[in-house]
Every structure is written in structure tokens, then in C-alpha cells.
Structure 1
Amino acid sequence: MYKKYNEQVNLNYLRVFDAIYIHRSTKLAASALGISQSAVSQTLAKLRDYTGDKLFYSANGQLQSTHRADAIGLGLNEQLDALDNRIFSDLFEDPSEFDGELTIAVSSVFLEAIATELTSSVVFNSFPKAKLNVTTWTDRTFTDIQNGDVHIGLNFGPIDTPKSIRSVDLTSSEPIVIMRKNHPWSDGCFKLEDFNKYPTGGILVPGLTDFNAILERRAPEFFDFKYRSASMSVLTCLAEHSDILAITETLSASMCPNTIDCVQPIWLADLAPAQMSHAIYYLERNHNHPLYRFCINIVRNSLQEKLDILKTKTEMNI
């Protein structure tokens, strides 16, 4: 039956319903939408009244959907995304005219490595009119992405993520040993059995299990790391002024000055944990949004340029 406009369901109610249907919790739905749990519950009450159906009931610690809720909820997320993309694709035809706000959470290693690219490539070249907020990746970053407080996260992967957040691999992260120029280890052709003759260090990778610790467990006779830091600047300074051998990864090593040698012994790749990557994180519902696709390409290209330069000065020991 036809209803007057003011008697019809507000489309925002469907966004709230969709969040409840996905997360099976009014609390998690509120967190994902960035509104109060009370507002979610009030909207659900209005939808129950409108449909004449309970829609969700509590069982086994989460909300279960009724047959009517399934009829509404199945495919609703994709339909809402399609509506969003209809609007935003037109608003984002020209990045140079984008005057919105972007908040990017960046792990400490990334922040050191691509601070220049974030400011020059992103702010001045690609988004000259945008308002850019760059913050540090923390334990709350995934919650901030779900709440809309952070739009994009940059960190290593793989990291366990909530279902509402997508991870996209950008470039490969490989282990590398750094040392000062003319280090005596080079005289022995970078042999594994000579590695523990020198003080050792390693990079701390935020968000991931420390792969230095994995090396210690797999080959304790060769690895006993004395120094660890999430700051590549600290490791570089140590390497410049001592005989330390530090195991880091490609993006971090790309920051090393010409006073530092970078080496990739074949044995290191064999002993290192499963392959890691440099990754970008954002809400799953934004995956087809042109703004996010554009950002992925910018960051990927910036990372690849640094890794390509690193290849030219890295010694491969086969």
C-alpha cells in the first residue's frame, strides 16, 4: 500500500539495519557506524514497528535474524554500496578538486619511510585541496576505521582484521641485513655460521609477530638479537657506528644512507617466516569507491619506487 513520504522508512534506517545484520550486535553496529548504541536500538525498534516483525532475537551470545530480516538483509550491503558509488563516483572525477578530509593511520616504520611521499605526492600533487590528517597506527586503529575516525591505514600484512575491514597487499616485504661499509662479515661472503660473531639487532614490526624472534627459535645457534627497535633511524645509527648486523625488511632498508650496505643472503629467505607485505586497510564497503582505488595506486607506486631504488644497491648473496 502506498504510504506518504513522512510515513516511509528513512534510508538511514536501512544502513543501521545493515550494520546490525552484518555484525549481529547493536553495540558493534553502533561502533561501525560511529553512533550510539541507544540510537541503533531506537532505529531497530522503529523498523520492528514498521515491519511488524521482531527481525532479530538473542541466542548464543549474538543476534539471530528472522526470516523477514533475511529477506531484507541479504544483498542489502551491496545495494547500499551501489547507491554510495552512484553519488561519490561523480564527486570524485578529478582528484585535484577533491576538498574533503582524509585521515590516514600509518605504522611507525611506514611513517619514517614514506613521510616525504605522503606530503609531496598526496598533499601537494594529488590532493592539493584536501585536508590530510596523518596519525600513528595504534591498537585502536581498526576500531577507528570502523568508526570512520580513520579512513585508511598503512601497515604490514598479513594482520587479522575484522570482517568489515579489507586488506590489500601493495608490495612485497623481504628480509635484509644492513651493516656499515667495509664490515668484516663481508670478507667471509656473508656466511650464516659467521653471523653470530658480531652484535646483532632487528626491526620491530608493529602489528605483526616479531620475525626476529622466529629466527631465534628456528636457529638459536646463529641468532641472539641484542638490539631491537621500531625506528629504522635508531638501527641505522647503531650500524653506522659499530659492527652490528641488523635484520630489517625492504621498505625499512630503503631509508639507509650510502654509508650502509644492504645484503640479501639466500639463507635468510629460507629461514625467515612466511612472506609479508606492505598493505593498505580500509572499510570493506569502500572497496569499489574511486577515492580508495586512487589512494591504493598512489601508495603502491610510491612504495614501488623506493623498493626499485633499493634493488640497485642491494647485494644478493647466492
Structure 2
Amino acid sequence: MYQKYNQQLNLNYLRTFNAIYSHRSIKKAANALGITQSAVSQTLAKLREFTNDKLFYTAGNELHATYRADEIGQGLNEHIELLDNRLSSRLFSDPHQFDGELTIAVSSVFLEAIATELTSSVVFDMFPNAKLNVTTWNDKTFNAIQNGEVHIGLNFYPIETPKSIRSVALTTSDPVVIARKEHPWEHSGFSQREFSTYPTGGILVPGLTDFSAILERQYPGKFDFQYRSASMSVLSCLAEHSDILAITETLSASMCPKSIQCFKPRWLSELLPNKISHAMYYLERNHHHPLYQYSSELIKKSLQHKLDELSPNVIEC
């Protein structure tokens, strides 16, 4: 039935509904929208009156959606994002003028490696007016990207992703062995057989099976890793003060101090035939948005700079 304009739903209420539906919390919805909890509650009351449905009920520590709320909420975030992109895509022409909010979830390995770039090159040089939020990648990151809480994710590729999320490989990740300078392993010609005679370790990569686990599973008896860490600084410290040989990858190895030597044994690359890359993740629908295209090139440039700095210090053997 036709309703007069002043009797129709204020479509801005749908943003509030979407925030409640995504976060299942009045408080979290208010924080995400940057408004008060009272304002969210008032809008929810108007939506309940308009739909003649409770929409959400409390069970435990979170809100649960009614059948009517699911009818409204499923796919709503995608529609809102699509409209936002239509309205704002052409507004992004000069990154120096961009004053929006950008939330980036970064794998712990990436965070250590390009922390300087994220806090200087990106923020102060390229996006001086932006509000940048940097968080750590975890098992809920893909949900956060789908809900609009995270705009860009940085992690390794390939990892399993929902169909709504695009992965863009940026730079190649190669396996590297790190050891202290003048390590006795050098006298053996960097052989695989001698490698296993020393204590060994490996990097843990969130969302991706780490190199060491692949080797242990595929070559039982040849590899027995005693140390693993998601922190490269921990592994490099172990290597610096002991005879440990640690398998990591190029971006991680770029953080090693000068007291650490990096090696790329041919036999190691042959044991790990599947190529791994450093990658950027974001919503598929944003693929042609100039903000994401620009960010992709900027991050790729930062990563490549780190890899280029490492390259002269790696001994291929």
C-alpha cells in the first residue's frame, strides 16, 4: 500500500539496523557508527514499530535476530556497500585528500616486517588525512572484512577464502634458512643431510600451514622442528645465540639483524614446490574501486622494497 513520504521508513535507519545485525550488540553497533547507544536504541525502537516485529532479542551476552530481522539483514551489508561505492568511488582521486577511515588487518609476520611503512609511508606520506586503524589478523578477519569492520587484510597466499573476498598476490615468498654468522653448517656445503643434525625451527604463519609442518608431514624422519614462533624476532634471537637453523621466508628474513646470515638452498625450494606469495585481501565488490587499486600498488611497492634490500644479503647455495 502506498504511503506518504513522511510515513515511509527513513532509509538511514537501515545503516543502524545493519550495524546491530552485524555486531549483535547495541554497544558495538554504536561504536562502529560513531553515535551514542541511546541513538541506536531509539532507531531500533522506530524500526520495531515500523515492522511490527521485535527484530532482536537477548540471549546470553548477545542479541539474536528474529526471522523478520534475518529477512531484512541477509545481504543488506552488501547492498549498502554497493551504494557507498557508487557514491564515493569517484571521490577518491588524490590520496592526500582522502580523509576517510581505513582499517587494515595484518598478519603478525607482516606487522613486524612493514611496521615502519604502515606508520610512516602510508599514514604520513600517502594518506596524511586518513584515520588508519591497524589490527592483527586472526581467525575472525574474513568475517570482519565481510561485515565492513576491516577494509584490507595482509597475509600470505594461498589461503582458503570466502567467495565474496578477493585475494591479490603482490610479491613472491621464497623459503629461506637463517643462521648465525660463521655457523658450522656452512662447512658442509649447506647439505640437507647436515641440516637435520642441528636444532631446527620454523615460522608460524596465521591462516597458512607453516613451512616446517609441511616438511615434517611430507618427509617424516628427515625433519624434526623443535622451535616454532609467529614472531620473527624470536626466531632470529634464537638463531643469533645458538646453533639453531630456522626455516622462514623472504619477507620475514628481511627483519634479521646483521649478525644473522640468510641462505636459499636449492634443495629446500625443491621440497616446497608450491609457490607462496604475500597478498592483499578485500571484498570482491571493491576490486575496481580506485582506493583499493591504489592501496594494492602502494603495499606491493613497500613489500618489494623490503625484498630488494634483503636480496644482496642472501646466499644461494
**What TM-score, normalized to structure 2?**
0.77
Q: Deviations over 1:59-105 (max 9, x none)?
A: xxx99xxxxxxxxx9xxx89x85x65553233111100111111111
| Structure 1 Cα separation of the partners of residues 137 and 249 of structure 2 | 18
Give the conservation status (yes or no) of the 8 Å contact 1:88–1:289.
no
One-letter amino acid matched to 1:315:
I
Give the aligned partner of residue 49 of structure 1: none
Give the aligned partner of residue 55 of structure 1: none
Give the aligned partner of residue 228 of structure 2: 228
Q: Deviations over 1:109-158 (max 9, x none)?
A: 00000000001111010000111111111111111111111111111111
Give the aligned partner of residue 152 of structure 2: 152
The number of aligned residues is: 289
Task: Summarize the Cα distance change of 1:285–1:9 in structure 2 as closer, same or farther, 3 Å threshold.
Answer: farther
1:150-189 aligned within 5 A: 150-189=150-189
1:183-202 aligned within 5 A: 183-202=183-202
C-alpha RMSD of matched pairs (Å):
3.8
Q: C-alpha displacement at 1:295, in angstroms?
A: 0.6
Give the aligned partner of residue 298 of structure 2: 298
Unaligned runs of at least 5 residues, structure 1:
20-26, 47-57, 64-72
1:266-285 aligned within 5 A: 266-272=266-272, 274-285=274-285
Give the aligned partner of residue 206 of structure 2: 206
Give the aligned partner of residue 22 of structure 1: none
One-letter amino acid matched to 1:298:
L
One-letter amino acid matched to 2:145:
I
| Structure 2 Cα separation of the partners of residues 91 and 115 of structure 1 | 28
Q: C-alpha displacement at 1:161, in angstroms?
A: 1.1
Q: C-alpha displacement at 1:280, in angstroms?
A: 0.7
1:241-280 aligned within 5 A: 241-272=241-272, 274-280=274-280
Give the conservation status (yes or no) of the 8 Å contact 1:173–1:277.
yes
One-letter amino acid matched to 1:129:
N
Give the conservation status (yes or no) of the 8 Å contact 1:211–1:273.
no
**What TM-score, normalized to structure 1?**
0.77
- Secondary structure of 2:114's match? helix
1:79-90 aligned within 5 A: 81=82, 84-90=84-90
Give the conservation status (yes or no) of the 8 Å contact 1:98–1:130.
yes
Task: Summarize the Cα distance change of 1:8–1:164 in structure 2 as closer, same or farther, 3 Å threshold.
Answer: farther
Give the aligned partner of residue 127 of structure 1: 127
| Structure 2 Cα separation of the partners of residues 211 and 244 of structure 1 | 16
| Structure 1 Cα separation of the partners of residues 98 and 289 of structure 2 | 14
Percentage of matched positions with identical amino acids: 65
| Structure 2 Cα separation of the partners of residues 289 and 262 of structure 1 | 39
- Secondary structure of 1:197's match? coil
Task: Summarize the Cα distance change of 1:273–1:227 in structure 2 as closer, same or farther, 3 Å threshold.
Answer: farther
| Structure 2 Cα separation of the partners of residues 211 and 182 of structure 1 | 24
Give the conservation status (yes or no) of the 8 Å contact 2:202–2:210.
no
Q: C-alpha displacement at 1:174, in angstroms?
A: 1.1
Q: C-alpha displacement at 1:216, in angstroms?
A: 1.1
- Secondary structure of 1:278's match? strand
